[in-house]
Chain A
């Protein structure tokens, strides 16, 4: 491997600096301050980057140390050749390693190459930066060296085989780290730290050993207080019982007093009751019975009043007797019948009977009146009939008369009628009526005759004579008395009809026909009246006979009237009779009731031992009052007895009766005081128990904590033992590992020693027999009978030994392609003789290695 060229953009004080390298020794001889070491550092930095990143010292921290003074790009390029290929490595350093730029190009193609990475130094030289600086790179004043792990590994790895020797330092460091972390001999070691902790917990545990005793002690206090409390409870119970007994005794006394009072009260009530009872001659009636009797008595008085009301006066009694005689004892048949009917059917039946009889009498009377009317009208009717007959005869005659005669007939009729009226009024009614009738007949005949004579051809007005004829009929019926119900009226009507059609047949009524009709009607009326009279006479005769009277036309009216009057008289009497009789009966009934009720009251009074007085109601009221008093006394006695009974049932009266003083008892006041004191003591005991409980809880907490401390101490001790064991094992492991490494390196110590001797002789001209190299590549020298560390040599020798050892190591490390060597004025400490030898040494090296030699001295360069 060889360097070809480099260009420094900016690195320390160097700026835009380029240099070509050739094979063999490249001497860079510049004055002090030119930047030779900086140049050398640049070469190193191109392969390994900047070192001392974490160092604060400017000398150690290369990023700070070589930061361009003048600014600009920090870095440069370096062209080198290895295994026949040329590469250009470029690095631009930034503020920190992570930001640094690295680039590798194939120097021939200028293409980027990935043949090596950022750690190109390690990859090419197979050693780390430290090993590089201890071997290939000899810095100013840094001649002394020692084989590093990487150096050893590189030396041991002759054929680049995989080997774990390079892990020694890491393994050793790891074990050392554990040893240091665990070490009992330094304050930072966990064993040492834990020792203190164990001591602390040990003191706590020791100090807490009394807690359990304290707990026992306080539990003893606690139990003692509990026992005290129990004892106080017992005392309290006893005091309570005494209090109860004392209270009970007082209560018993009070009860006995109450019992006595109740007994006395019952006795008094009994006496009072007896006194009240003694008010009665015999037994004490029940209040209900008295009340009933008072009610009965009230009813009796009402009956008495009724008696007073219904009692007949003497006149009434005499009247009754008379009426009784009339109706019952030898009166008329009617009276007897009436009396019987009244007896049988009562007053109402009698009244119905009277009403019927009176109606019957009225009918007879009416009939008799009509009969008399008809009878009275009969002569006039007969006269009218005769007149009519005469009229008809006259008419016939008139027909045969001259007209003058006909003209005088109405006048004759009028005169005759006037005379008839006068006679009827003044002399004789019937004669007068007859005269009137005849006169009317004449008048009518005259008028008919006159009309016929005047207008013989006017037959068409035949109705008018008919009207006239009819007009006569009312005169006939003008008697008016003829009852409509007799049917007589119908006949004239029927007759009228009969006549009318007849008249209507030819439409011409002739005066003769009309007169015939009139005659016929009149004759019928007369016959009818005569039949009616005969029939009524018969009925009246029967009626009178029924009432014990003989019919006589003259006295019949009086007879009938008498019968009717008798009926009314009987009715009045019967009314009176039955009213008096009813009164008499009511009186008797009331009398009966009075006697019955009065008898019961009297019996009651007698039962009670009282002589019935005139005023039984007052007597009963008095009895009731007495009975009420008695009842009240009885109730009072019953209540008193009930109270006594209840008391005796609820209380041990036998005990109360036998109650004696059961020894001296403290007073209730004393007992209350005692209880109050005990309460205070119990409260105090409760407080103490609570306090002891709290203390015990506190102690328990302390004990828990103590237990935790004990557990922690045990855990710490256990852990300490484990760690101590581990420390011992790791410590021993480290020792054994070191021995192993020494045993390994011892195998190539001899070749190194040979190389060392070769270079030593080359520079010093002396043999290196007195030098030794151990398995750790430490050089010792025999001095004054013993091997001495190279450190004890002079600076010049130390540098010499270091340079020789470096070259021996490099020889041992790189059996194949040799690396370049960088020497930054390494011989500054050598004397002139050795400097000359060193120049030869360098020249000799140049035959094997490309050497870049920096020096400020002409003699050394």
Chain B
């Protein structure tokens, strides 16, 4: 029996934190389409069930397009069972307008709900964590150890406090309960660890990266259970995102001009394997001479045609060699000496002020 475990799709996410309006709108559509592609993949590969471990949606009020697209895919694939466990971002108005919930859409509630599959050999249990049930949720889980037990939860594993409203999943409390596969959602990066001697727990990660804090591969987990021998199952992470996000740090130390920095960045981007369809964040780092020529707008214009989206951050620091200016009988030398002699300024401030002044004297843009 093949199952797909996915989570944190965040459909309808605004995506305006990193992207401009046009890109945000386009990516919003792409994420929705990736969900559709995943369902098609399931249909083509004989997947019998899709487990959505929370945060299918991102906003309180779901758009009609997202709602209808999801429902269309569910009803259009009656051969696939959809097990949808709501996460902290999900809102229950997804199904509110439906007269009847599709037969192949299985939902969970504040108490443990268990569905059977593969002729009763596989049990899929889930509970929607909330402040009210968080304390008792783990203890109240009772499973039939003869079956292949999949448990679905959405929350932060108990190594640290959850950042938002999500509840904490106490992995210790779930040990030795007979769980074979703990399908989790909330953490946006793929992660698979041993839960106990019998089972594993896995965060599928998000289906598509949305911001530069979600770089790298994203997709879903394909689980294949041998119903002849329930102790055997395979687990495979399937990269499925339409685009990847990359954060590339480029050391531009000692570069004297923007072109040099662009060359360094090209090398780093090639090393990182950034593709034309990807979203790239370039972070310039290192120390630059205070008199170096650096034009971030031009720098970006070099890379903008090469990627779907690119942005650059300047985290370089300036360096000044005072020896160069000590005996300089020019306005520039005098200026640097004047600035560096000002004890009220921090070193960094001095460098910036020196840079501005030198750019002004050189007739360059002051930036």
Bound pair (A, B): yes
Please give the residue numbers on chain A whose beta carbons come within 8 Å of chain B beta carbons, in ascending order. Answer: 163-165, 167-168, 170-172, 174-175, 178, 215, 219, 222-223, 226, 689, 693, 696-697, 699-700, 703-704, 707-708, 711, 726, 729-730, 732-734, 736-737, 739-741, 743-744
| B29 sits at the interface (CB 8 A) | no
- Asked whether, in the complex, the Cβ of A222 is within 8 Å of the Cβ of B93, the reply is yes
For the complex, give the distance between the alpha carbons of A170 and B331 in Å.
Answer: 12
- Asked whether, in the complex, the Cβ of A744 is within 8 Å of the Cβ of B366, the reply is no
Question: 0/1 per residue, B148-179, Cβ < 8 Å to A?
Answer: 00000000000000000000000000000000
- Asked whether, in the complex, the Cβ of A175 is within 8 Å of the Cβ of B59, the reply is no
B331 CB contact (under 8 Å) in A165, A174, A729: A165
Nearest-CB distance from A94 to chain B (Å)?
Answer: 31
- Asked whether, in the complex, the Cβ of A174 is within 8 Å of the Cβ of B334, the reply is no
| B339 sits at the interface (CB 8 A) | yes
Residues of B within 8 A of A171 (CB): 331, 357, 360-361, 363
Q: Which of B211-255 contact A (CB under 8 A)?
A: none
| B14 sits at the interface (CB 8 A) | yes
Of A215, A700, A732, A734, chain B has the most CB atoms within 10 Å of the CB of A732
Closest B residue by C-beta to A226: B96
Q: Which of B48-106 contact A (CB under 8 A)?
A: 59-61, 91-93, 96-97
For the complex, give the distance between the alpha carbons of A732 and B346 in Å.
Answer: 13
Residues of B within 8 A of A733 (CB): 339, 353-354, 356-357, 360, 366
B356 CB contact (under 8 Å) in A163, A170, A730: A730
- Asked whether, in the complex, the Cβ of B331 is within 8 Å of the Cβ of A700, the reply is no
For the complex, give the distance between the alpha carbons of A178 and B345 in Å.
Answer: 21
- Asked whether, in the complex, the Cβ of B331 is within 8 Å of the Cβ of A744, the reply is yes
Residues of B within 8 A of A703 (CB): 60
| B335 sits at the interface (CB 8 A) | yes
For the complex, give the distance between the alpha carbons of A167 and B364 in Å.
Answer: 12
| B135 sits at the interface (CB 8 A) | no
- Asked whether, in the complex, the Cβ of A711 is within 8 Å of the Cβ of B331, the reply is no
- Asked whether, in the complex, the Cβ of A708 is within 8 Å of the Cβ of B16, the reply is yes
| A165-B331, A226-B96 as given contacts; A174 in contact with B360, CB under 8 Å | yes
Residues of B within 8 A of A711 (CB): 16-17
| A174-B360, A689-B96 as given contacts; A707 in contact with B352, CB under 8 Å | no
* Total A-B contacts with CB atoms under 8 angstroms apart: 103
Residues of A within 8 A of B356 (CB): 175, 726, 729-730, 733
For the complex, give the distance between the alpha carbons of A165 and B330 in Å.
Answer: 7
B360 CB contact (under 8 Å) in A700, A737, A743: A737
Residues of A within 8 A of B61 (CB): 215, 696-697, 699-700
Closest A residue by C-beta to B21: A708
| B332 sits at the interface (CB 8 A) | yes
Residues of A within 8 A of B59 (CB): 700
What are 22 A-B pairs with beta-carbon distances under 8 A?
A164-B361, A165-B330, A168-B331, A172-B360, A174-B360, A175-B356, A175-B360, A219-B93, A226-B96, A693-B96, A693-B97, A696-B60, A700-B59, A708-B16, A711-B17, A729-B356, A732-B339, A734-B357, A736-B338, A736-B342, A737-B360, A743-B338
A741 CB contact (under 8 Å) in B93, B331, B337, B362: B331
- Asked whether, in the complex, the Cβ of B60 is within 8 Å of the Cβ of A215, the reply is yes
For the complex of A and B, the 10 pairs showing the least CB-CB separation, nearest first, are: A700-B61, A740-B334, A171-B360, A740-B335, A733-B357, A733-B356, A171-B361, A736-B338, A164-B331, A174-B360
| B349 sits at the interface (CB 8 A) | yes
For the complex, give the distance between the alpha carbons of A689 and B96 in Å.
Answer: 9
For the complex, give the distance between the alpha carbons of A697 and B63 in Å.
Answer: 8
Nearest-CB distance from B359 to chain A (Å)?
Answer: 8
B332 CB contact (under 8 Å) in A164, A697, A732, A734: A164
Residues of A within 8 A of B96 (CB): 222, 226, 689, 693
- Asked whether, in the complex, the Cβ of B60 is within 8 Å of the Cβ of A729, the reply is no
Residues of B within 8 A of A743 (CB): 334, 338
For the complex, give the distance between the alpha carbons of A696 and B349 in Å.
Answer: 49
For the complex, give the distance between the alpha carbons of A215 and B93 in Å.
Answer: 13
Nearest-CB distance from B161 to chain A (Å)?
Answer: 23
Please give the residue numbers on chain B whose beta carbons come within 8 Å of chain A beta carbons, in ascending order. Answer: 14, 16-17, 59-61, 91-93, 96-97, 330-332, 334-335, 337-339, 342, 345, 349, 352-354, 356-357, 360-363, 366
A729 CB contact (under 8 Å) in B342, B353, B362: B353
For the complex, give the distance between the alpha carbons of A149 and B39 in Å.
Answer: 73
Task: List 9 other contacts, CB 8 Å, given A163-B330, A163-B331.
Answer: A164-B331, A168-B361, A171-B363, A222-B96, A734-B357, A736-B338, A736-B357, A740-B334, A740-B338
- Asked whether, in the complex, the Cβ of B349 is within 8 Å of the Cβ of A707, the reply is no
Closest A residue by C-beta to B64: A697
Residues of B within 8 A of A167 (CB): 331, 361-363
Residues of B within 8 A of A697 (CB): 61
A interface SS class: helix
- Asked whether, in the complex, the Cβ of A174 is within 8 Å of the Cβ of B335, the reply is no
Nearest-CB distance from B232 to chain A (Å)?
Answer: 44
Residues of B within 8 A of A699 (CB): 61
Closest B residue by C-beta to A166: B331
B366 CB contact (under 8 Å) in A165, A178, A700: A178
Nearest-CB distance from B311 to chain A (Å)?
Answer: 14
Residues of B within 8 A of A700 (CB): 59-61
- Asked whether, in the complex, the Cβ of B349 is within 8 Å of the Cβ of A170, the reply is no
Closest B residue by C-beta to A173: B360
Of A699, A708, A732, A733, chain B has the most CB atoms within 10 Å of the CB of A733
Nearest-CB distance from A709 to chain B (Å)?
Answer: 12
For the complex, give the distance between the alpha carbons of A434 and B354 in Å.
Answer: 200
Nearest-CB distance from A429 to chain B (Å)?
Answer: 136
Residues of B within 8 A of A215 (CB): 60-61
For the complex, give the distance between the alpha carbons of A706 and B50 in Å.
Answer: 36
Closest B residue by C-beta to A697: B61
Nearest-CB distance from A736 to chain B (Å)?
Answer: 5
Nearest-CB distance from B333 to chain A (Å)?
Answer: 8
For the complex, give the distance between the alpha carbons of A736 and B338 in Å.
Answer: 6
Residues of A within 8 A of B342 (CB): 736
Closest B residue by C-beta to A168: B331
For the complex, give the distance between the alpha carbons of A168 and B332 in Å.
Answer: 9
Of A689, A700, A740, chain B has the most CB atoms within 10 Å of the CB of A740
Closest A residue by C-beta to B335: A740
| A174-B360, A215-B60, A729-B352 as given contacts; A737 in contact with B366, CB under 8 Å | no
Residues of A within 8 A of B353 (CB): 729, 732-733, 736
Residues of B within 8 A of A226 (CB): 96
Residues of B within 8 A of A732 (CB): 339, 345, 349, 353
For the complex, give the distance between the alpha carbons of A170 and B363 in Å.
Answer: 7
Residues of A within 8 A of B334 (CB): 740-741, 743-744
For the complex, give the distance between the alpha carbons of A174 and B91 in Å.
Answer: 55
Nearest-CB distance from A309 to chain B (Å)?
Answer: 87
For the complex, give the distance between the alpha carbons of A219 and B93 in Å.
Answer: 9
- Asked whether, in the complex, the Cβ of B335 is within 8 Å of the Cβ of A736, the reply is yes
For the complex, give the distance between the alpha carbons of A708 and B356 in Å.
Answer: 33
For the complex, give the distance between the alpha carbons of A17 and B363 in Å.
Answer: 44
For the complex, give the distance between the alpha carbons of A168 and B330 in Å.
Answer: 11
Nearest-CB distance from B338 to chain A (Å)?
Answer: 5
Of B16, B93, B342, chain A has the most CB atoms within 10 Å of the CB of B93
Residues of A within 8 A of B93 (CB): 219, 222, 693, 696
Nearest-CB distance from A259 to chain B (Å)?
Answer: 38
Nearest-CB distance from A616 to chain B (Å)?
Answer: 76
For the complex, give the distance between the alpha carbons of A699 and B59 in Å.
Answer: 12
| A164-B330, A171-B361, A175-B360 as given contacts; A707 in contact with B335, CB under 8 Å | no
Closest B residue by C-beta to A743: B334
Residues of B within 8 A of A219 (CB): 60, 91, 93
Of A163, A164, A693, A697, chain B has the most CB atoms within 10 Å of the CB of A164
Nearest-CB distance from B185 to chain A (Å)?
Answer: 22
Closest B residue by C-beta to A176: B360
| A170-B363, A171-B360, A700-B59 as given contacts; A729 in contact with B349, CB under 8 Å | yes
Residues of A within 8 A of B330 (CB): 163-165
| A165-B331, A226-B96, A704-B14 as given contacts; A737 in contact with B363, CB under 8 Å | no
- Asked whether, in the complex, the Cβ of B357 is within 8 Å of the Cβ of A175, the reply is yes
